[in-house]
């Protein structure tokens, strides 16, 4: 696994600053070299997967989670930090001293991503999606009911927002996918601001870098301000303003 690229995601809640820590890292089959980082429930979950690709995805997500925690709390080692998988598949910290953290994990076939929040009273969800023509047919099936054409990018953006919202609610897709219907996507200055039709208490923000979409769903009580610094989006894309309605 490559060195983690970390970003601080900044929000405002009635004058109070709220921050999330986002980490990305690339991985390949060599991620198995760090399987000793797993402990307890993690070992059992890892062993339950049959496909090598699924094992690697799981392992990469947990390794990156531990690396991100150690970046904050340097006195801990990987085996001091244990996660578990809850009933509907979402990750939790089993280690008591981290139980106040909200954790969301996402991955593509080559990239893992982790979102950490110390505000565990406020639900957040993370998704990453590699924009690829290989996904087009599957995504078209979910979007066909709208009776309109979507670009390849819009298909992935739409799906990524649904995934992020499902993780914020910690239901995954154990509920009907239509619950996460998107009302509006507005592109402003290199980022996408997303509203949901049936989830009035959640918004999402997304951006695209190197053909990978990163999307974070968060409560409407928060106002997204910036990532790392106010010029982050200007660094990855020229300013564009466009509104897309998904009615």
Rounded to the nearest 10 degrees, how much is the dihedral formed by the CA atoms of 67, 105, 88, 141? -160
State yes or no: pLDDT of 202 exceeds 90: yes
Average the pLDDT over 122-138 and give the result: 94
Average the pLDDT over 36-62 and give the result: 97
Which residues make Cβ contacts (< 8 Å) with residue 121, sequence separation at least 6? Answer: none
Cα 205 → chain centroid? 11
Q: Among residues 113, 32, 26, 20, which one has the least CA distance to residue 65?
A: 113
Q: How far apart are CA 172 and CA 113, in angstroms?
A: 17
Cα 193 → chain centroid? 15
Q: How confident is the model at residue 242 (pLDDT cuts 50, 70, 90)?
A: very low
State yes or no: pLDDT of 163 exceeds 50: yes
pLDDT tens-digit series, residues 63-92: 999 999 999 899 999 999 999 999 899 999
Q: Provide the pLDDT for residue 235.
A: 60
CA-based R_g, the chain, Å: 18
Q: Provide the pLDDT for residue 157.
A: 95
Q: How many CB atoms lie within 10 A of CB 40?
A: 13
């Amino acid at each position: 696994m490559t060195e983690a690229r970390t970003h601080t995601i900044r929000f405002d809640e009635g004058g109070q600053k709220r921050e999330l820590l986002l980490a990305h890292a690339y991985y390949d089959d060599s991620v198995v070299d760090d399987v000793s980082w797993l402990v307890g429930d993690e070992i059992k979950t890892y062993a339950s997967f049959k496909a090598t690709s699924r094992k690697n995805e799981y392992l990469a997500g947990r390794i990156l989670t531990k690396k991100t925690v150690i970046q904050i709390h340097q006195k801990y080692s990987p085996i001091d930090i244990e996660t578990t998988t809850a009933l509907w598949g979402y990750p939790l910290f089993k280690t008591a001293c981290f139980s106040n953290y909200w954790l969301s994990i996402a991955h593509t076939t080559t990239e893992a991503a982790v979102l950490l929040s110390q505000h565990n009273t406020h639900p957040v969800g993370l998704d990453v999606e590699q924009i690829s023509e290989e996904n087009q047919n599957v995504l078209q099936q979910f979007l066909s009911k709208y009776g309109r054409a979507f670009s390849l990018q819009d298909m992935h953006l739409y799906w990524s927002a649904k995934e992020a919202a499902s993780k914020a609610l910690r239901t995954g897709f154990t509920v009907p996918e239509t619950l996460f219907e998107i009302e509006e996507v507005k592109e402003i200055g290199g980022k996408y601001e997303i509203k949901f039709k049936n989830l009035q208490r959640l918004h999402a923000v997304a951006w695209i870098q190197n053909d990978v979409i990163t999307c974070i769903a968060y409560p409407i009580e928060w106002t997204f301000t910036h990532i790392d610094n106010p010029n982050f989006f200007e660094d990855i894309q020229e300013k564009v303003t466009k509104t897309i309605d998904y009615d």
